[in-house]
Amino acid sequence: MARKVLVLGEVRDGSLRNVSFEAIAAGKTVSEGGEVVAVLIGKSVSALGEEMIQYGADKVVVVEDDKLEQYTPDGYSQAVLSVIDQEKPEGIIFGHTALGKDLSPKVASKLSTGLISDATDLEEAGGNLVFTRPIYSGKAFEKKIVTGGVIFATIRPNNIEPLAKDESRTGEVSSLSVDIKDLRTIIKEVVRKASEGVDLSEAKVIIAGGRGVKSEDGFNPLQELADVLGGAVGASRGACDADYCDYSLQIGQTGKVVTPDLYIACGISGAIQHLAGMSNSKVIVAINKDPEANIFNVADYGIVGDLFEVVPMLTEEFKKLKVSSS
């Protein structure tokens, strides 16, 4: 059954986040041969429409307004709902990002529909669109379908492969003017903490530290390794509770759930609560002094040793590799 599907493109620092392209790919699956309409919202974002087309959107609707320069649930929901009203989609896909998580329940509630959050996969099976999503932070999975109304889902970044970019693709980029009013939450200030590094939820490589890093400075060698690999630094609850790092770095059942290509756990024992947040990473490396540490039970590769010796050696080794391959 061909459907029209709306996908939200997410803009950060003037460019489209990867999850936007993943959403197009998911939208294509949901559309079953129908049309994929991308929505871009912001102050001046129409120039990005072309890229959404190149990644597979059939057309793009842009809503631009000074009041949309920053994300607010009131502003963005008015914009999205206006586009929904115009396009009347039968499917909607957002990224399961901070923005998508905050906005999607409001939009679903307005439309009085269900919402499948944080899907990691979707497929057509037996006449249904079946979404896979982790529950209990990845300790289990569920397959879920929408039983009535619009098929609305958010997709976890890094899990659904985007379509290949095709620069010859063309499509209409139109703008819709929406009278944005009554913003009940006003952003006074944005303090950038994560700006120096790669975002944890989208990182392909994560170097995570546990109690074994012993101090705030103990994270320095991990950061250096992350820099060489173009990755991000994360932490276990133990490291956060001990004040070695900020809670925003925490990976686990409380904290972030991540699925990078490579996860290097340094000085992390592997409590169940931590494993829930990272055990679905593609490849896991454990570095720990304690050969009995539980983390070795989920690791693909392990080195028994002091992270303060091993991590700098790894950094050097990867640096060499970079030099020789460039």
Partner 1 sequence: MNIYVLLKRTFDTEEKISIQNGQIAEDGAEFIINPYDEYAVEEAIQVRDAHGGEVTVVTVGGEESEKQLRTALAMGADKAVLINTEDDLDHGDQFTTAKILAHYLKEQEVDLILAGNVAIDGGSGQVGPRVAEQLDIPYVTTITKLEIDGGTVTVTRDVEGDSEVIETSLPLLVTAQQGLNEPRYPSLPGIMKAKKKPLDEVELDDIDLDEDEVEAKTKTIEIYLPPKKEAGKVLEGELDAQVSELVSLLRNEAKVI
Of 2-61, which residues contact partner 1 (CB under 8 A)?
none
Show contacts with partner 1 in window 216-275 (CB under 8 A): 229, 240, 246-250, 252-255, 257, 261-262, 271-273
Please tell me whether residue 67 binds partner 1 under the rule CB under 8 A: no
Candidates 32, 85, 124, 142: give the one binding partner 1 (CB under 8 A): 142
- Using only the alpha carbons of the chain, give its radius of gyration: 21
Show contacts with partner 1 in window 95-114 (CB under 8 A): 97-98, 101-102, 104-106, 108-110, 112-114
- Would you tell me the crossing angle of helices 73-87 and 98-111 to the nearest 10 degrees? 50
Please tell me whether residue 282 binds partner 1 under the rule CB under 8 A: yes
How many residues of this chain bind partner 1 (CB under 8 A)?
A: 96
Q: Which is closer to partner 1, CB of 66 or CB of 182?
A: 182
Q: Which is closer to partner 1, CB of 32 or CB of 142?
A: 142
- Integer Cα distance of 284 and 262 in angstroms: 6
DSSP notation for 241-273: HTTSS-GGGBBSSSSB----SEEEEES----HH
Q: In what order do the strands lie in the sheet containing 91-95? A: 116-119, 151-155, 91-95, 5-9, 36-42, 59-64, 172-175
Cα distances (Å, whole numbers) of residue 284 to 291, 295, 300: 16, 9, 5
Q: Which is closer to partner 1, CB of 162 or CB of 197?
A: 197
Binding range to partner 1, per CB under 8 A, among 42-50, 61-69, 132-140, 160-168: 132-140
- Integer Cα distance of 170 and 187 in angstroms: 36
Please tell me whether residue 303 binds partner 1 under the rule CB under 8 A: yes
Q: Which is closer to partner 1, CB of 31 or CB of 154?
A: 154
CB of 28 to partner 1, least distance (A): 21
DSSP notation for 288-321: ES-TT-GGGGT-SEEEES-HHHHHHHHHHHHHHH
Q: Which is closer to partner 1, CB of 147 or CB of 326?
A: 147
Candidates 13, 167, 168, 185: give the one binding partner 1 (CB under 8 A): 185
CB of 48 to partner 1, least distance (A): 20
Q: Please, what's the largest Cα pairwise distance for the chain? A: 62
Question: 96: closest CA among 7, 30, 28?
Answer: 7
Candidates 33, 168, 181, 291: give the one binding partner 1 (CB under 8 A): 291
CB of 256 to partner 1, least distance (A): 9
Q: Which is closer to partner 1, CB of 169 or CB of 256?
A: 256
Please tell me whether residue 168 binds partner 1 under the rule CB under 8 A: no
- Integer Cα distance of 234 and 240 in angstroms: 10
CB of 58 to partner 1, least distance (A): 27
- Integer Cα distance of 73 and 131 in angstroms: 25
